[in-house]
Amino acid sequence: MVLGSGVYRIGSSVEFDWCAVRAIRTLRSRGVKTVMVNYNPETVSTDYDEADRLYFENINLERILDIYEAESSSGVVIAMGGQTPNNIALPLHRQNVKILGTSPEMIDTAENRYKFSRMLDQIDVDQPLWKELTSFSEAGEFCEKVGYPVLVRPSYVLSGAAMNVVYSPDDLANYLGQATAVSREHPVVISKYIEDAKEIEMDAIAVNGKMVMHVVSEHVENAGVHSGDATLILPPQDLDPETIRKIEVATAKIGQALDVTGCYNIQFIAKDNEIKVIECNLRASRSMPFVSKVMEVDLIEMATNAMLGFPVEAYPESPIPKTGYVGIKVPQFSFSRLSGADPILGVEMASTGEVACFGKDKYDAYIKALVSTGFTLPKKNILLSIGSFKEKQEMLPAVKRLRSLGYNLFATSGTADFMSEHGVPVKYLEALEDDNDNQKSEYSLNQHLANNLIDLYINLPSKNRYRRPASYVSKGYRTRRMAVDFSVPLITNVKCAKLFVEALARHKEIEIESVDYKASNRTVTLPGLINIQTLVPGITTAASKDFENVS
């Protein structure tokens, strides 16, 4: 019996359905009768011909127990449906349901912050400092002890819901006062937030605790952007071999400690070759379909075989495969349909889809992937608004590159002053407060956006702070929102902006190559004859009209 992911929503989408379908097909190829439980008619897993039996039912404890008993099932695969089935693993186990793969007790160890933290300490794997707190005074004391910024989240959240990075005591007071009531019944978890750290994803397969498959992919954005919204590169292009080695060792240790059988995903942060674990999921991850297609190795097939006790061959020797090409996965957002939403990246997931493309290098793949999301490449005018001094310095070489490419650069006041001081000519624009006669000024940023005079808007907020109500009346928010409403391409992350500028500089024409034709299907040559005369007129002559010549 395979459990699906349920309804599509931010945080649980088609990636998990792909995993469920691959698990079903692997089981059926092994001659195993399958039962699929899901309640989303949009999914492929609920197609009538995918499984032997299909149940359109809610994925909750009572309903799964009923189906398990009615079907006399020999086991349940919960690892393919995301967090929803994972949440009922332990209750199902207590009702004597056989969970295939990793033990539900170990799933609980990974999900329970205290148990997981204690286990990491025992196996000597580092993690950011954290604490669960039940009062505002305790929260303030802990933040002062570890130092700001900190990551604050209510307990039991999906896809980073209600999580925020807090940079000061005032932000903490605002967040805890408005977003969540802190009490013994509703504690908050606060952990040290490490700035300018690289986030790295590890997808792995293990059999009885021994890692047999592992693939490292890197995020373009620094840590602090939800993994579901991050731009993912495989094979990684900018990771130190020592960092890779440490991640590989830590992943093997965690797999062994949790006695994993099947798939698991770990997210690391790395800074100065030091790594820390920020999350571990003993289930399929959003990145596994992408990794499987780039690697041309079906991770879900391997995981399903491992769960059922079928032999699994170890692969590969190296966590960085030599593919000869680079795959990049970029998020797809629906901010234009979410009226008033601030289109910035943060610890709370916001994307509603994703696109992956291949290229000869990361720049080629990134341009292809962006264009595939509907992003329009700039032709002439680019607007810059960069909040922090540090990011102005970081973006300066990229801005000079844009100027050398012949783009007309516009900038808001602080950014314009900085660029002018560093020898980059820009035109000044100002976001005006009210709709008045000044809006018609040649310096009106609002008018330039409204009249589609800007081809690309690079807006880098000072910090993706806690989104208090005041942030929704700031000039930065209003201009970002205008860009979305007027369909002006928008970039709000400094790492993505730098990668885009370099990709733009190297970009010629998008060429469809053999690497772009990758698919999860195979070609079968069928016996038969084709009359090619209908396809190639004039192939026959008066001298040779025989059947062999035209077939």
Take residue 551 and report the two structure tokens written for it: 């077939």
Burial class (CB in 10 A: 0-12, 13-18, 19+), 29: exposed
Q: Look at 33-47, 258-272, 339-353, 387-401 and tell me which has the smallest mean pLDDT.
A: 339-353
Class of the 375-506 domain?
alpha beta
Per-residue pLDDT reduced to its tens digit, 86-114: 889 999 999 999 999 999 999 999 988 88
Whole-number pLDDT of residue 100: 94
Closest CA to 302 of 49, 101, 70: 101
Banded model confidence at residue 202, pLDDT cuts 50, 70, 90 = very high
Sheet holding 456-460, edge to edge: 427-428, 408-411, 381-386, 456-460, 490-491
CATH fold of the domain at 129-192:
Dna Ligase; domain 1 (3.30.1490)
Q: What would the pLDDT profile of 151-183 be if each residue is shown by its tens digit?
A: 887 755 555 456 778 888 888 888 777 655 666
What average pLDDT does the structure give for the chain? Answer: 85
Q: What are phi and psi of 477, to 5 degrees?
A: -60, -45
- Contact at 8 Å (CB) between 219 and 200? yes
Distance CA 418, CA 423 (A): 9
Name the H helices within 451-518. 475-485, 494-506
**Is the domain defined by 198-323 classed in CATH 3.30.470.20?**
yes
Q: Does this chain's domain 198-323 share its CATH topology with 375-506?
A: no
pLDDT, tens digit, for every residue of 353-409? Answer: 889 999 888 999 999 999 999 999 999 999 999 988 899 999 999 999 999 999 999
pTM across the whole model: 0.84
- DSSP, residue by residue, 534-549: GTSTT-S-SS---GGG
Q: Say yes or no to pLDDT of 539 above 70.
A: no
* Run of H or E including 145: helix 136-146
Residue 185 has pLDDT above 70, yes or no: no
CATH T-level fold of 2-100: Rossmann fold (3.40.50)
pLDDT classification of 462: cutoffs 50, 70, 90:
confident
Length of the chain: 551
Token pair for 215: 């693939």
| Order of all β-strands in the sheet with 188-192 | 130-133, 188-192, 150-154, 164-166
Domain range list for the chain:
2-100, 129-192, 198-323, 375-506
pLDDT at 535 over 60: yes
Asked whether residue 466 carries a pLDDT value surpassing 50, the answer given is no
Q: What is the pLDDT of residue 163?
A: 73
